[in-house]
């Protein structure tokens, strides 16, 4: 059987290479449905880890059978991305109350966030389809990633961002890579609605995480965590959740890895939202009986999202992984960030939500103190420099250029 695009709402099938991101029949979200997978998949991945060919060095394309086997090498736009480190820091584990906590730092991707894993696939697919431009709505990281990959592919890049609410590092990257930036007087949810309509009329390929090819690429975060652990599943994987594309993608990867026999049990997902932007946590608390929309507000601007587009997909993977959804306050996010930064690791505010969430879930007794937990840090420290300098100037003391002033400042702490 060949691969198709299947509507996750009404099950209608569309050709794999249709340049669409929603079901033409009912408007539902599309999934890539690829029934056949090779049996020797783990051995192939292991061989590739030792290979020096440029595509096999990508932490996305070395899993290409599970991502986009249809792509020819010439279609692929890659940095390469992925291959991000798993790290352990005692101060972070101690703070979270969880002895076996590991951090997966996705901020070590080429544009400083996990978005590159999805973007390499979506932009490669745009090339396969012969599109001339790509577009997205973004809280900042997707726009930086789109801008970089569109520039490399020679495509026009168009991004819609909420005016005045995008962290400085992300905006600067998007400017540098030369995308067309529209700062919308509205929030992320308004941007997403607008870009969905505008991409159709302008002939741009929509590469938000509703695009199933973006999600195929983001699944490699899950595969890479498992492969780096020699296909030994941790008890939990915790991640920040906003529009819920990443929750859906990683959940799907974990379920696929189990189905393919790569792991013998499925890790539980812990999706963490900011308290001021927690419609999914609210829905989880009510057994997913209802879907909510909120006016979102949080210091973690990356996840300042009130109406997550991938809600239904995320419900399926939280159920499928026996996962949980919770929320943490801005104070908890900033406290976690201070610990992660102070450990010499660093991350942007939204990323720290995963560690803050682990601490909360351990305190509640949901995660055991001895459970093995991988917390995903989704973005780099430098994405949001303003928040650090706003919070009291971080130990900067201005002095006169004299030895006495240096000595006095250091001795006085």
Binding positions for ligand F0G, rule: CB under 6 A: 113, 115, 138-142, 209, 240-247, 302-303, 348, 350-351, 378-379
- Which of residues 96 and 350 has its CB atom nearest to ligand F0G in the complex? 350
Report the nearest approach of ligand F0G to the CB of residue 156 (Å): 19
Report the nearest approach of ligand F0G to the CB of residue 294 (Å): 15
- Which of residues 228 and 348 has its CB atom nearest to ligand F0G in the complex? 348
Report the nearest approach of ligand F0G to the CB of residue 329 (Å): 17
DSSP string of 336-398? Answer: HHHHHHHTT----HHHHHHHHHHHHHHHTTSS-TTSEEEEEE-B-GGG-HHHHHHTTTTT---
- Which of residues 116 and 262 has its CB atom nearest to ligand F0G in the complex? 116
**Cβ neighbours, 10 Å, residue 37:** 12
Report the nearest approach of ligand F0G to the CB of residue 383 (Å): 7
- Which of residues 262 and 318 has its CB atom nearest to ligand F0G in the complex? 318
**Cβ neighbours, 10 Å, residue 273:** 31
- Name all contacts of 361-364 with Cβ < 8 Å and 24+ positions apart: 361/238, 361/270, 361/324, 361/326, 362/96, 362/97, 362/98, 363/97
Helix/strand/coil for 236: strand
- Which of residues 217 and 242 has its CB atom nearest to ligand F0G in the complex? 242
CA dist 333 and 314 (Å) reads: 22
- Which of residues 187 and 371 has its CB atom nearest to ligand F0G in the complex? 187
Report the nearest approach of ligand F0G to the CB of residue 352 (Å): 10
CB contact burial 205-244 (16+ within 10 A = b; e otherwise): bbbbbbbbbbbbbbbbbbbbbbbbbebebbebbbbbbbbb
Report the nearest approach of ligand F0G to the CB of residue 281 (Å): 12
CA dist 104 and 413 (Å) reads: 34
**Cβ neighbours, 10 Å, residue 301:** 27
- Which of residues 80 and 357 has its CB atom nearest to ligand F0G in the complex? 357
CA dist 46 and 52 (Å) reads: 13
Report the nearest approach of ligand F0G to the CB of residue 375 (Å): 12
């Amino acid at each position: 059987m060949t691969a198709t695009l299947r509507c996750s709402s009404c099950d209608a099938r569309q050709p794999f290479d249709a340049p669409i991101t929603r079901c033409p029949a009912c408007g539902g979200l599309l999934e890539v449905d690829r029934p056949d997978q090779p049996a020797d998949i783990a051995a192939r991945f292991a061989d590739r880890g030792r290979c020096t060919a440029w595509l096999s060095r990508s932490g996305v394309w070395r899993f290409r059978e599970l991502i986009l086997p249809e792509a020819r090498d010439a279609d692929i736009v890659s940095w390469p991305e992925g291959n991000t480190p798993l790290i352990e820091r005692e101060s972070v584990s101690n703070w979270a109350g969880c002895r076996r906590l590991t951090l997966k730092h996705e901020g070590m991707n080429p544009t400083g966030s996990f978005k590159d894993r999805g973007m390499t696939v979506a932009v490669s697919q745009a090339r396969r389809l012969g599109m001339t431009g790509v577009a997205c709505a973004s809280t900042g990281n997707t726009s930086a990633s789109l801008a970089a990959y569109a520039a490399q592919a020679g495509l026009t890049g168009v991004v819609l961002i909420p005016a005045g609410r995008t962290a400085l590092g992300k905006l600067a990257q998007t400017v540098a890579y030369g995308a067309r930036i529209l700062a919308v007087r509205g929030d992320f949810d308004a941007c997403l609605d607008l870009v969905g309509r505008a991409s159709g009329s302008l002939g741009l390929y929509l590469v938000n995480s509703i695009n199933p090819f973006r999600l195929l690429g983001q699944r490699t975060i899950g595969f890479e965590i498992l492969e780096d652990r020699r296909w030994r599943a941790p008890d939990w994987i915790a991640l920040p959740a906003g529009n819920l594309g990443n929750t859906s993608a990683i959940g799907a990867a974990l379920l696929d890895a189990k189905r393919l026999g790569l792991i013998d049990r499925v890790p539980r997902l812990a999706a963490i939202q900011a308290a001021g932007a927690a419609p999914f946590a609210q829905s989880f608390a009510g057994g997913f009986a209802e879907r909510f929309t909120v006016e979102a507000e949080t210091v973690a601007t990356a996840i300042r999202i009130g109406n997550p587009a991938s809600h239904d997909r995320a419900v399926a993977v939280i159920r499928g992984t026996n996962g949980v959804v919770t929320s943490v306050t801005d104070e908890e996010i900033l406290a976690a960030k201070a610990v992660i930064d102070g450990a010499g690791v660093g991350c942007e505010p939204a990323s720290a939500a995963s560690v803050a969430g682990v601490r909360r879930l351990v305190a509640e007794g949901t995660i055991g103190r001895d459970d093995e937990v991988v917390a995903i840090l989704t973005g780099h420290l430098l994405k949001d420099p303003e928040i650090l300098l706003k919070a009291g100037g971080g130990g900067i003391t201005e002095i006169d250029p004299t030895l006495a002033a240096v000595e006095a400042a250091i001795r006085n702490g």
